[in-house]
Structure 1
Amino acid sequence: MTDSRRDTSVVAGPPEQVGPAPRRSSGRAWEWTLAALLLLPNLVLLVVFTYRPLLDNIRLSFTDWNISSPVANPVGFANYVEWFGRDDTRVVVRNTLVFTVATVGVSMALGLGLALLLDQKLKGRNLVRSVVFAPFVISGAAVGIAFQFVFDPQFGLVRDLLARVGASSPDFYQQPGWALFMVTVTYIWKNLGYTFVIYLAALQGRRADLDEAAEIDGATAWTRFRRVLMPQLRPTTFFLSITVLLSSVQVFDIINVMTRGGPQGNGTATLVYQVYQETFVNQRAGYGATVATIMFVILLAVTVVQVRFMDRGQKS
């Protein structure tokens, strides 16, 4: 006899959802809208005050324009050909290279050394930290005027110190090499506080357990510095190498106050000073824009190389 009863049991399933389902897409859309609203003012400022002037500068580099004239005459690549063919170009590029390499390397090395020293528990270290950082917030023009008296070959501080050991002071204002040395030392003194503070912050945030482990293992002080400390400071060193490089290339006030690009024409003139000289003194804004564009391309290439180098260092 066949059982005609049917199985009326129902397989239990997920409970039915009551009410409308949450809209994740609307939440994401609100997040993107909020992010756009927060970023929009900064983007507008960047476009108006950075990218638009950059494009205008590139456009003007292909013209012959007197800054007081309403008309800019197109000349193609004539300004670039002139810049690469002029005799003073080699001097200006050499001055820029020497000044930048010296200021970046020396200020970072001295900043790290002072940070290591003042990271110790020393009496009066907070006062010394303030003294080291103070020149960074002083105007570059004021620093330049003060150091004119320091390097004055007749009655300056350097002359007095050299006279005590029986040496004569170089003529910093008449010899191009010594003049470039003078403005380089002045800028290093002014910028030292910046590298010092950044390195000091990085040292205070490093992992102390790694230093202790290396010391227990019998590592020497140099080994701990090279193998333990410097790898932890690599991001900070990379950051400083870019920021100090960019600021060094753009130094104008100290050079203008102390030497006005001289002596002997272009003894201390750098690329940024050449932009000023050609644009506002020689009234050749188109040629000045050409120099500024070349400087921008050089800085962009150097920054890209630094980023690539940093990426390879992190991967290795």
Structure 2
Amino acid sequence: MRQARPSLRKAGRLAPARAGRLRHLLVFAVPGLAVYALFVLVPVVMTVYLSLTNQNAFNPPTRFIGLANYSRLLADESFLNALRNTAVITVLVTAGANACGLCIALLLERRGWLNNILRSVFFTPVVLSSVVVSVIWQALLTDDGLLNSLLTELGVQQPPGWLSDPGIALYSLSWIICWQVLGFCVVVYLAALQGIPQELHEAAGLDGAGPLERFRHVTWPMIAPAVTINTIMLLITGFKVYDQVQVITNGGPGDGATSTIAFEIVQTAFAGNRVGYASAMATVMLVLVATISTVVLRALQRREVSA
């Protein structure tokens, strides 16, 4: 009993301290959790609920229809076309911005006033509004725009219809998105490259490794976390593309040549007033993004460990 009393007194002193820490934690955590629940969880729950109804502002009343909206999506050619376009944009943007961003980061790795200026130049599109970027590129890529005018001066008789040809427009749109997010990838890769100890490169050089071998065995494994960050961010960016489609092509040319899932959701909900059906599209998009991002994240994290 004599040995137990100090422990009891100590536990009595620790209890108020733990309670105080818990109160402080709640004070700081509750506002953040409340905002997250209000602007993320509640809209997600409402979207899932509306996807199970026939919600239409001009065709009341609203009825619960179960999975009818989802079964209709499987046969909806407009939605399937938007899904294909979104997949193409996501793959091109993820691969293109990652590859170009890494190459540019390797070129700008060394410090110097010129490299500092170029870093700012490459990062500028990231801070610009997507609408501003879209208007600029639309002026450049229209049939009578600056690019085609230059090609005509160089002797090209029929310049490509960058935004008017259904076979090219989707790739032009992907390039614009890639160009805008390229600066973000460059900054992330530069931070990763500058975090590699110089001793590793020197040791590899002493062992006779050339530039390509040093990149393969030293640089590439060390920048694995940066590859993970950029890939996940680009995947999400590709799936939620809307502004560029709305401003540059409005889903065209032709019948949905550049329509994406996000564009189709907005058109269905606000132009067609079919909120329940649009909510089903949004739910499918959420599940796709969450599933693909999780799978890719797990795969890249395993690569980080093995590297």
More displaced 10-residue stretch of structure 1: 236-245 or 285-294: 236-245
Residues in 1 aligned to 2:178 and 2:61: alpha-carbon distance in whole angstroms: 42
Cα distance change on mapping 1:114 and 1:314 into 2, 3 Å: closer
Structure 1 residue 93 and structure 2 residue 83: aligned? Answer: yes
TM-score of the superposition, structure 2-length normalised?
0.91
- 2:135 alignment counterpart: 145
- 2:23 alignment counterpart: 33
Cα distance change on mapping 1:93 and 1:208 into 2, 3 Å: same
Displacement of 1:157 after TM fit? Answer: 1.7
Residues in 2 aligned to 1:158 and 1:175: alpha-carbon distance in whole angstroms: 13
Within 5 Å, give how 1:260-299 maps onto structure 2.
Answer: 260-299=250-289
| Rg larger in structure | 1
Residues in 1 aligned to 2:30 and 2:233: alpha-carbon distance in whole angstroms: 25
Query: Residue 151 of structure 2 is aligned with which of 158, 161, 175?
Result: 161
Displacement of 1:311 after TM fit? Answer: 3.6
Residues in 1 aligned to 2:94 and 2:148: alpha-carbon distance in whole angstroms: 23
Letter in 1 for 2:92: A
Structure 1 residue 300 and structure 2 residue 256: aligned? Answer: no
Residues in 2 aligned to 1:280 and 1:27: alpha-carbon distance in whole angstroms: 54
Structure 1 residue 47 and structure 2 residue 37: aligned? Answer: yes
Query: Residue 183 of structure 2 is aligned with which of 169, 182, 193?
Result: 193
Residues in 1 aligned to 2:91 and 2:118: alpha-carbon distance in whole angstroms: 27
CA deviation string 1:192-239 (max 9, x = no partner): 111111111122222221111111111111111111111111111111
Cα distance change on mapping 1:237 and 1:314 into 2, 3 Å: closer
TM-score of the superposition, structure 1-length normalised?
0.89
- 1:207 alignment counterpart: 197
Q: Kindly, what percent of the aligned residue pairs are identical?
A: 31
More displaced 10-residue stretch of structure 1: 96-105 or 80-89: 80-89
- 2:224 alignment counterpart: 234
- Does structure 1 retain, via aligned residues, the 8 Å contact 2:170–2:257? yes
Q: Give the paired residue count.
A: 302
Residues in 2 aligned to 1:200 and 1:315: alpha-carbon distance in whole angstroms: 21
Residues in 1 aligned to 2:157 and 2:292: alpha-carbon distance in whole angstroms: 41
- 2:51 alignment counterpart: 61
Residues in 2 aligned to 1:315 and 1:273: alpha-carbon distance in whole angstroms: 38
Cα distance change on mapping 1:37 and 1:167 into 2, 3 Å: farther
Cα distance change on mapping 1:148 and 1:295 into 2, 3 Å: same
- Does structure 2 retain, via aligned residues, the 8 Å contact 1:151–1:159? no
Cα distance change on mapping 1:48 and 1:212 into 2, 3 Å: same
- 2:248 alignment counterpart: 258
Question: Mind listing any 5+ residue stretches in structure 1 that lack a counterpart?
Answer: 1-12
Cα distance change on mapping 1:185 and 1:44 into 2, 3 Å: same
- 1:171 alignment counterpart: 161
Q: What RMSD, in angstroms, separates the aligned Cα atoms of the two structures?
A: 2.2
Letter in 2 for 1:141: V
Residues in 2 aligned to 1:206 and 1:34: alpha-carbon distance in whole angstroms: 39
- Does structure 1 retain, via aligned residues, the 8 Å contact 2:225–2:304? no
Structure having the higher helix fraction is: 2
- Does structure 2 retain, via aligned residues, the 8 Å contact 1:108–1:240? yes
- Does structure 1 retain, via aligned residues, the 8 Å contact 2:47–2:283? yes
- Does structure 2 retain, via aligned residues, the 8 Å contact 1:159–1:168? no
Question: Mind listing any 5+ residue stretches in structure 2 that lack a counterpart?
Answer: none
Residues in 2 aligned to 1:279 and 1:32: alpha-carbon distance in whole angstroms: 44
- Does structure 1 retain, via aligned residues, the 8 Å contact 2:94–2:234? yes
More displaced 10-residue stretch of structure 1: 288-297 or 212-221: 212-221
Letter in 2 for 1:187: I
- Does structure 2 retain, via aligned residues, the 8 Å contact 1:67–1:279? no
Residues in 2 aligned to 1:313 and 1:29: alpha-carbon distance in whole angstroms: 42
Letter in 1 for 2:124: A
Cα distance change on mapping 1:209 and 1:25 into 2, 3 Å: farther
Displacement of 1:89 after TM fit? Answer: 2.9
Query: SS of the residue aligned with 1:72?
Result: coil
